[in-house]
Amino acid sequence: MSVGRETRLSAWIERFAAHFAEEGIPLIGGRILGYLLVCQPVERTAAELSQELEASSGSISTNLKFLVNSGLVTKRTRRGRQAAEYRINEKAWSDFVQRKLHAIASVQTLTDDGMRLLSGDPERAMRLKTVDHLYGWLSAEIPALWERRPASPK
Amino acid sequence: MSVGRETRLSAWIERFAAHFAEEGIPLIGGRILGYLLVCQPVERTAAELSQELEASSGSISTNLKFLVNSGLVTKRTRRGRQAAEYRINEKAWSDFVQRKLHAIASVQTLTDDGMRLLSGDPERAMRLKTVDHLYGWLSAEIPALWERRPASPK
DNA sequence: CGATGATTTCAGTGTCGACCGAAGGGGAAC
DNA sequence: GTTCCCCTTCGGTCGACACTGAAATCATCG
């Protein structure tokens, strides 16, 4: 007897959250992201997320604030509704990835500063130079790569 | 009156370590990396690192093991010397960066699995599809980018 | 083999951050 | 104004992890 789709989706959400937990996103934050990517309907209140993900209201609140702030989740309030609705802002995902790529390339400013400090001593600068070249190349190529990024299909 | 070069290098090492601390590398590990990138001579023993970086022998040992294991630092033993010598392996830095890029793109396997779970329901899969396309593109472009990477200058 | 000097292991400490849940605050409905 | 939710805030707990320093281990040399 096979497991239901919803059960498998729960497991998928958990894997999804685990991946981002390794990158520093709190487990519950990752669960929210995964859940909001596949839930039906697309909008949920904080209370619903709390129940669905079995997390305290406090944790949901803290993580939603973080996710809304990062742009990955959008908050919508409606007149006559006390509960705000949250939904994935999938368009923001490319900015999210771009920030990650930028974080990697940003080491170049460090190696650059280091090279300047060693400018009088080429011998000693050799090790840093190798690393600096790598990051220098990355810093040039990553924005170029992003230029070529196709618009996401409708 | 200006500060000496070595003093400024110490400050640089600290910034260097702080950057990688944000990426999950222990502070002392980052200090070792920064120090080994600019020290003269290029090789140091664990005891020297301990003294120079004012860290306990245990921390130095743990972090050196981690760094050697990751390939960023090379350990060399010599007959007639009880102390092993450690040095930066600057050539390994590109592998290190490549692993980071791969880690970002690897989300594609997750989104792909998710798409499969939602294969019967295109409407519901729309949000994930946007994200999946982004990572699919990345997964193709990043290896291609790496192909074009120039050899580091001698 | 014993001594010496270096490294690794390990138990203990302190810090940090995620999480919980109760208390407090703010709207909407009546 | 009062009641009823819902959300946010906040103190407290727990677990994870970096770091230390001492003890154990290992290698070299006499």
Walk along chain B (154 residues) and give the pLDDT tens digit of each residue. 678 888 999 999 999 999 999 999 999 999 999 999 999 999 999 999 999 999 999 999 999 999 999 999 999 988 777 789 999 999 999 999 999 999 999 999 999 999 999 998 999 999 999 999 999 999 999 999 999 988 776 5
Residue A81's pLDDT is 74
Q: What are phi and psi of A39, to 5 degrees?
A: -75, 160
Integer Cα distance of B140 and B118 in angstroms = 23
- Separation of B56 CA and D20 C1' (Å): 6
* Coil vs helix vs strand at A76: strand
Q: What's this model's pTM, rounded to 2 decimal places? A: 0.90
Distances (CA, A) of A97 to A1, A38, B36: 39, 20, 31
| pLDDT of B154 | 56
Q: Which residues pair with B87 in a beta bridge?
A: B74
Looking across all nucleic acid strands, the nucleotide with the smallest C1' to CA distance from residue B30 is D18
CA distance A37 to A110: 37
Please give the pLDDT value at position A4: 86
Q: Tell me the Ramachandran region of residue B116: left when phi exceeds 0, alpha when psi lies from -120 to 50, beta otherwise.
A: alpha
State the pLDDT at residue A83: 87
Which pLDDT score is estimated for A6? 87
Residues with CB under 7 A from strand C: A 24, 26-29, 54-59, 62-63, 79-82; B 45-47, 57-58, 60-62, 64-65, 82-84
Count A/B contacts: CB-CB distance under 8 Å.
110
In angstroms, the CA A116 to CA B153 distance is 18
Contact A110 B40 (CB under 8 A): no
| C-alpha to C-alpha distance for B36 and A130, rounded to whole angstroms | 13
Look-up of token digits 């899969």: B125
